Copies of this chain bind each other. A is one copy, B any other.
């Protein structure tokens, strides 16, 4: 058993895979942070969706007025959904890319640019920065994932 276990944890000894693990953990933690920011705005703006969430504000009509949408809450939620739409492909394709034997320096370049672009995208969405700031950071992350997908398909292609 010990031998098998040692073998199967070898992935984490591979430098490209370690880089993938580091950046994937970072972008997923960044995405998880959106939940906390949503909660913060829901509480400070007193804007909820579920009746049971407003029960502590009183009963009946007095609590009902907190069942409303707030522009700041909706903005964070859009940022969160955009993260899901873009970070999910990065995590999936990035794993295959890390296993397709790229050079460490090339892999690091991909992971770093993607992670930087998504962190910038979050600031651009939440501040908000004037366009095309957010649009460009989205396109940069998108292109990185696309480039990794190209490498994966070139290496693994078996249809």
Interface residues, chain A, CB within 8 Å of chain B?
1, 4-5, 7-19, 21-22, 24-26, 28-29, 31-32, 34-35, 49-50, 52-53, 55-56, 75, 78, 80, 84-89, 91-93, 95-96, 99-101, 128-131, 134, 138, 142, 145-146, 149, 152-153, 155-159
A145 to B28, CA, bound (A): 10
Known: A52-B131, A75-B50, A153-B22. A101 touches B15 (CB 8 A): no
- Main DSSP-derived SS at the A contact region: helix
- The answer to whether B4 touches A50 (Cβ under 8 A) is no
Q: List 22 interface pairs A-B (beta carbons < 8 Å), by A numbering.
A: A4-B13, A7-B10, A9-B14, A9-B99, A9-B101, A12-B100, A12-B101, A12-B156, A15-B158, A19-B159, A21-B96, A22-B159, A25-B93, A28-B93, A31-B88, A32-B142, A34-B85, A35-B86, A35-B142, A52-B130, A56-B131, A95-B95
Distance from A28 Cβ to chain B, minimum over Cβ atoms (Å): 4
